[in-house]
Amino acid sequence: MSFDVLIVGIGGQGTILTSNILGEACVIEGIHVRGAETHGMAQRGGSVESQIRIGQEYGPQIAPGTADLIISFDLMEAARYCHYLKKGGFIFTSQEYVVPTSVFTQDFPAPDEHMIMGLIGDYKVIVVEARRLAEEAGSILTQNIVLLGAASSHLPLQEQSLRDAVSRTVPKKTIELNLKAFDLGRAVCSTH
């Protein structure tokens, strides 16, 4: 059994931290896990992706059209990577997005949310107000944890393992804040 999760965002949104949390939760439960990361120009707002294969004993790469779940910290990244999702899978994404620099430098019209959702098409998408919930938790820096909490009920991992993994992975002084963000995300999407 392999449950494949693609985590995408842009530099500084917590993509790698979130994949580390998923890996730690797998370790807690004694489940094999494989992962791979791509950091393309992350410090200049470039795309960052982490591939996590829960229960996989062999390769870390997820083939397009086979991911069970995508967690996206930027709506544009959800559109860029939605072709990785398999039929019946889910995308959990922030409604926030950063317009690429190339749009301004080449004088293209800036996309709006409606246009981006059109690019995503018929995939099952749960759009989360991650920024608002992170602010409610106490810091906008916890948007990645809000989205992890939102997607958590669709992961083959126990809630307590994920909470323990958050506590083990984030800086100690932010544990309470991040657990609150996780709970707010989980509560919003418990019905999906």
Please report, as a single letter, which amino acid is at residue 190: S
- Token pair of 169, please? 């992975």
156: CB partners within 8 A, 6+ apart: 1, 3, 54, 55
In the three-class reduction of DSSP (H, G, I as helix; E, B as strand; rest coil), residue 108 is classed as coil
pLDDT tens series, the chain, 192 aa: 799 999 999 888 888 999 999 999 999 999 999 998 887 665 566 788 999 999 988 889 999 999 999 999 999 999 999 999 999 999 999 998 888 777 778 888 888 889 899 989 889 999 999 999 999 999 999 999 999 999 999 999 999 999 999 999 999 999 999 999 999 999 987 655
HSE-CB for 74 with a 13 A CA cutoff = 21
Q: What is the CATH number of domain 3-190?
A: 3.40.920.10
pTM > 0.85: yes
Residues 6/9/11/13 CA torsion (nearest 10 deg): -100
Q: The tokens 């899978």 sit on which residue? A: 89
**DSSP code, position 87:** E
User: Alpha-carbon distance 14 to 18, whole Å?
Assistant: 6
User: Alpha-carbon distance 54 to 151, whole Å?
Assistant: 14
Q: Quick one: residue 112, left, alpha or beta (phi over 0 = left, psi -120 to 50 = alpha)?
A: beta
